[in-house]
Amino acid sequence: MTLWPRLTGVKVLFAHDTEVALAAAAALVNTADGDDELLPDVAALDDFVRTWGWTGELRRDEAELRAVRELRPRLRQVWAATEERVVEIVNELLSEANALPQLVRHDTWDYHLHATPPDAPLATRMAVEAAMALVDVVRGKELGRLRTCDFAGCDNVVVDLSKNRSKRYCDGGCGNRAAVAAYRARKAAQA
Ligand SMILES: [Zn+2]
Ligand SMILES: [Zn+2]
């Protein structure tokens, strides 16, 4: 955080890389969608990695896929945990990976933190990136922005980065589903 936003009274929520990392962590958690496995194979993981712009080495094998899947329940816990528990999880993830924060600049990204080398296993890089972002959330007392989707029957996780904390639905289309349901309810009431 620079002095600039404070001087101008503009509240910057998180650094851009933190916001992207939080969104990516939520998207990863949401690939375990009840009985639906949205990372069924290596090709699906490949797609996910490309969509979220992960850099670094990929092994593209079953072991890598399994490790990424196994990370999801650990990250999901963060969305329902007390601050104390989140801190435990974050510290575990960082120490298991021997995380060592370094400022790096690559591709189109200006300086940001990496705390794992690019040849660390993908699941380790994902875990540490999420943990580093969560460090910012905890320090900013913003854990309230990690919630589950309000739509009935959906338990996807949500990262609310909106100014007025108004995000209620996940990015899986529940906002539209809720709007349609509300519309139908109004129609039914009129009939
Ligand atoms: Zn990077
Ligand atoms: Zn949802």
Give the pLDDT confidence of 39-67 residue by residue, as tens digits: 999 999 999 999 998 989 999 999 999 99
Q: Which ligand is nearest the CA of 173, by number?
A: 2
CB 39: neighbour CB atoms within 10 A?
Answer: 19
Give the pLDDT confidence of 125-148 residue by residue, as tens digits: 999 999 999 999 999 999 999 999
Q: What is the pLDDT of residue 34?
A: 80
Give the pLDDT confidence of 87-101 residue by residue, as tens digits: 999 999 999 999 999
Give the pLDDT confidence of 147-190 residue by residue, as tens digits: 999 999 999 999 999 989 999 999 889 999 999 999 999 999 98
Q: Which ligand is nearest the CA of 20, by number?
A: 1
- Whole-prediction pTM value? 0.89
* CA of 59 relative to ligand 1 center, distance in Å: 18
Q: CB-based contacts of 128: which residues, under 8 Å, 6+ apart? A: 93, 94, 97, 99, 115, 116, 120
* CA of 73 relative to ligand 2 center, distance in Å: 17
Q: Which ligand is nearest the CA of 105, by number?
A: 1
